[in-house]
Each structure stands twice: as C-alpha cells, then as structure tokens.
Structure 1
Amino acid sequence: MSKLSYKKLFKKMIDIDMKNAELMEQAKVSKSTFYKMKNGENVTTDVLVRICDVLDCDISEIVECVEVTKKQERIY
C-alpha cells in the first residue's frame, strides 16, 4: 500500500524559514487542511498547486508517494 508523504514540504519550509501560519495565509489553506497534511492525510491537488505557487516549486518538491508496510498500515 502506498501513501502520500508531505515531509518534503515541511523540510522545505524549515529550509526557507517559513512558519506554518505564513504558508496557510499565502496559499489560502485552512487549518484543518494543513493539519491533514501534518497527519499524512490526503488533500486536494488544488491545495498542493496553491502551495507550489507560493513556494515557486514543482509538486515533486513537496509531496512524494511512499510505500507503507503492514505494521505502519495499522497506525494509519
């Protein structure tokens, strides 16, 4: 089973010293949607595109598809 990971996004935000609130405001992302990403849940591609526009990057720089093992699957 595969799952989306937003670790690249959060690393990028650290690298450019951007706060969560800044990104949410600039990309017009709600708190609930942002926390979905924090918890590795799915969000719409529209949200990801808005984030890419704000960060001036490609979607592959903020999200990746990762393989989830059976043990990890129980956690999600």
Structure 2
Amino acid sequence: MEVSFKKLWKMLIDKDMKKKDLQASAGISWASVTKLSKNENVSMEVLMKVCQAMNCDIGDIMELIPTEDDTKQK
C-alpha cells in the first residue's frame, strides 16, 4: 500500500493556505511537511496535529492506494 496526501493539498487550496501556513498552525517541522509532500510515511502524532489544525478527520487528508504487489498477493 502507498499513502497519498492529495486530499490534504486540495484542502489547503480550498482554504487558501500554503504549506508554511500548515506548518505553523499544526506546529510540525518543515521536515514533516516535506515528507507529506513526497507521500512518505509520517508519525501518527504529525497526522493528528494536522487533523487538529485543519479541523478534520484523518480520512479527509490521506488515502491508502493499493500497489501492484498488493493485488498479486491475493
């Protein structure tokens, strides 16, 4: 499975926010924002801070996408 944070970036656009605004309001490091930008894994603590800052649920900012390996295993 791969993680996609496209929903988060769309939400930022809808709320007229920039990544630096997210960093400041969520109180997360720039390294965490970079990981989110690259669809890399971040800690649950970071995800919870983002959800709190954006006033949303975790499913509103991310989704899991099956990979070819996932479909071959079934």
Identity between Structure 1 and Structure 2 (%)? 36
* d(CA) in 1 for partners of 2:33, 2:39: 10
Give the Å deviation of 1:38. 0.5
How far does the alpha carbon of each residue in 1:19-70 deviate from its partner, in whole angstroms, 9 at most, with x for none?
Answer: 1111101111111111111111000011111111111100000011001236
Residue 22 of structure 2 aligns with which residue? 23
Letter of the structure 2 residue corresponding to residue 33 of structure 1? S
Q: Report the aligned-residue RMSD.
A: 1.1
Residue 4 of structure 1 aligns with which residue? 3
Matched length: 69
* d(CA) in 2 for partners of 1:68, 1:11: 23
What 5-or-longer segments of structure 1 have no aligned partner? 71-76
Letter of the structure 2 residue corresponding to residue 12 of structure 1? M
What 5-or-longer segments of structure 2 have no aligned partner? 70-74
* d(CA) in 2 for partners of 1:54, 1:37: 15
Q: Once superposed, which parts of structure 1, at least 4 consecutive aligned residues long, lie more than 2 Å away?
A: none
Q: Secondary structure at the match of 1:4?
A: strand
Q: Secondary structure at the match of 1:46?
A: helix
Letter of the structure 1 residue corresponding to residue 15 of structure 2? I
Letter of the structure 1 residue corresponding to residue 56 of structure 2? C
* TM-score, reference length from structure 2: 0.87
